[in-house]
Amino acid sequence: MRYLFRPPATDATGLLSLPWHQPLEEWDDALLLDVPSRGISRHVVRFVAVEDRVYALKEISEKLARHEYALLAQFESEGLPSVSVLGICVDRPDDQQAILVTRYLEYSLSYRWLFSRPQGAHSAEQLLDTMVVLLVRLHLAGIFWGDCSLSNTLFRLDAGTFAAYLVDAETADRHPRLSPGQRAYDVDLARERVGAELLDLQAGGLLPADIDPIEVAEGLPRRYESLWEEVTREEVFRTDEQRYRVAERLRRLNDLGFDVGEVELVTTDEGTRLRVETRVAEPGQNRRELFRLTGLEVQERQAQRLLNDVRAFRAYLEQKSGRPVPETIAGHRWLAEVYQPVVDAIPPDLAGRLAPAEVFHEVLEHRWFLSEEAGRDVGTTRAARSYFETELPKTPQELTTPSVIAGRG
């Protein structure tokens, strides 16, 4: 047998003792980890935990494994929203298929799990919009997915909204640039697959009665074209409008979840023509800023919310001391005095149900509601205590991320 792993290869050392010579479906249950919120797959997929880290193992042909391994490695290096690949195992005994190893996407949810919960009643439109954003990002990067579907997408909460990640890249193909025909074909495939998946949910009694699977699926191309037009169109405006119109366009792109690269302004007889290079990577300005100030690695919208709290805390420190407080000092004090106490106070039996940054976001939301009711600021400590007593327990136990489950074991 042969193993091929990406750096840091140390992540793979604990996996080497697994029974790679056996078919995945015959592995001892004692080696495997149950993931309640997992999706469905046409391949044999198993999950294992090594040193509290969780990995997904998928059995596929060597050609597909190598193809997917190479593409996922590219996606990760470019910051595209996808699962992180670790390695492959090939040349297994008895002509067995290869095994592709990816890192489990912490706090991720499958669409089937989301729809199987009571709170999933309002999720169809939201999940579809989120998946369309993912598809547009991939197309901007010249990636033809070929199998865009809800099953091949994972969703993560990001400050109350969803972010979508590509899971399966077996059928994906990379080009310098996609033609309109390639994009249209990929969108049409997505429409068919989403329609079939929603019909399957309806047959299983998991789809809310007021959601029409065909109507929702048929709306996917329209949603896609609207977003594609927004992120790629050129604009023409008067010279005296230039400053605010450019700022308005860039802000709109940021709000949609896209970064902006090069901005080109060309003066024509019609006016000033604006062309914006839309970056395909996940927006990272807020994430990078929060990491610089606190060392926390979170998602973009979570980072934006946490940064607002850091800034408010800095203003409080300056008001209290009567002198300026450097942002780095404010960031470190906020981490130690505000954020970490909330995370440390999460009851052990509720730990892992939401990402720590998502919990903190929820506490801030809860603080706002309690303060509105009380007519005064109730403070983060009281809000956290109330949230842990009344709100976090409502999050289903099976939502707890597998690495936390593994750690308890």
pLDDT of residue 249: 75
pLDDT for 281: 45
Residue ranges and CATH numbers for the domains of the chain are 2-103 (3.30.200), 108-231 (1.10.510.10), 233-277 (no CATH), 300-408 (no CATH)
Q: Which residues pair with 156 in a beta bridge?
A: 108, 163
Is there a contact between 165 and 108 (Cβ–Cβ < 8 Å)? yes
Q: What is the pLDDT of residue 379?
A: 87
What is the per-residue pLDDT for 121? Answer: 44
With H, G, I as helix, E, B as strand and everything else as coil, classify residue 173.
Answer: strand
In contact, 357 and 306? CB cutoff 8 Å = yes
Angle at 58 between CA 127 and CA 124, to 5 degrees: 10
Q: Cβ distance 286 to 311 under 8 Å?
A: no
Residue 164 CB-half CA count within 13 A: 23
What token pair was written down for 91? 């040349």
Residue 361: how many CA atoms within 13 Å on its side-chain side?
Answer: 20
- Encoded amino acid at 135, one letter: L
Alpha carbons 92 and 20: distance in angstroms, whole number: 7
Q: Pairing state of beta strands 173-174 and 108-109? A: unpaired
In order of 101, 142, 275, 276, 376, the CA distances from 264 in angstroms are 42, 21, 5, 6, 48
- Are 393 and 21 in contact by the 8 Å Cβ rule? The answer is no
**Residue spans of beta strands (DSSP E) within 269-386:** 271-279
By the 10 Å C-beta count (0-12 exposed, 13-18 middle, 19+ buried), 235 is classed as: middle
pLDDT, residue 105, reads 92
Low-confidence ranges of the chain (pLDDT < 70): 8-9, 39, 116-123, 239-244, 257-263, 265, 275-284, 409
**Residue 184 and residue 228 in contact, taking contact as beta carbons nearer than 8 Å:** no
Total residues belonging to the chain: 409
| Phi–psi pair at 284, nearest 5 degrees | -135, 5
- pLDDT value of residue 322: 85
Alpha carbons within 13 angstroms on the beta-carbon side of residue 333 total 15
User: pTM of this prediction?
Assistant: 0.82
pLDDT at 119: 54
The per-residue pLDDT for range 144-156, each reduced to its tens digit, is 999 999 999 999 9
